[in-house]
């Protein structure tokens, strides 16, 4: 089985953002990116890729390690007026529909041999958001991707034999 490839993962979601007619912005969940774009004009509705986290666990029946990647995305849109309840409800309905569109694409692509085939459909969860950031509303979907790492052996050729003299950062 293939390993989790961060570049492929980011490119996949960027392509989703460019292919869906209602999505006008694509961001990763780097709070500096999101807050910076809020000040300079975030494009709405926006697809925001959640930060990825996960864990490794041994597979007792084989010589490999499971890499369980916790992944997800959110779709948000902006309400100009703080007390515009009708607009909030419209945005919540629209963003939920867009999230379902994305989810159906993920599930379709999972059948086509892409890396997203590792999607664990039974792990899908969602949550309504808002107000977040700058009076934005929408939905967040999270799910698991299951990969295996077949080789966790130490590779001496990836290490220096002597420490570097100068390193940036902590000098304690």
Q: Is 94 helix (H, G, I), strand (E, B) or coil?
A: helix
User: How many CB atoms lie under 10 A from the CB of residue 113?
Assistant: 8
Closest by CA position to 4, among listed 86, 106, 118: 118
| Band of residue 41 on the pLDDT scale cut at 50, 70, 90 | confident
Which one-letter DSSP state was computed for residue 47?
A: E
> pLDDT tens digit string along 128-141?
999 988 899 999 99
The strand pairing partners of 70, in sequence order, are 53, 144
- Residues 70-127 have pLDDT tens digits of 999 999 999 999 999 999 999 999 999 999 999 999 888 888 877 676 788 899 999 9
We find that the CATH architecture of domain 6-158 is 2-Layer Sandwich (3.30)
- The pLDDT confidence band at residue 167, using thresholds 50, 70 and 90, is low
Using the predicted structure, report yes or no on whether residue 22 has a pLDDT greater than 50: yes
Show me where the domains of the chain are located: 6-158
pTM of the full structure = 0.82
């Amino acid at each position: 089985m293939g390993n989790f490839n961060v570049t492929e993962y980011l490119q996949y979601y960027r392509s989703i953002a460019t292919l869906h007619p209602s999505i006008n912005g694509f961001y990763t969940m780097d709070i500096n990116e999101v807050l910076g774009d809020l000040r300079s004009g975030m494009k709405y509705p926006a697809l925001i890729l959640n930060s990825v986290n996960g864990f490794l666990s041994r597979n007792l029946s084989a010589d490999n390690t499971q890499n369980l990647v916790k992944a997800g995305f959110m779709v948000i849109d902006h309400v100009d007026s703080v007390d515009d309840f009708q607009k909030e409800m419209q945005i919540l309905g629209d963003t939920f529909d867009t999230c379902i569109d994305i989810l159906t694409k993920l599930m379709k692509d999972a059948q086509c041999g892409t890396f997203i085939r590792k999607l664990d459909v039974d792990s899908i969860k969602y949550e309504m958001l808002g107000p977040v950031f700058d009076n934005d509303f929408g939905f967040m979907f999270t799910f698991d991707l299951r990969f295996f790492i077949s080789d966790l052996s130490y590779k001496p050729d990836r290490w220096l034999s002597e420490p570097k003299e100068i390193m940036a950062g902590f000098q304690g």
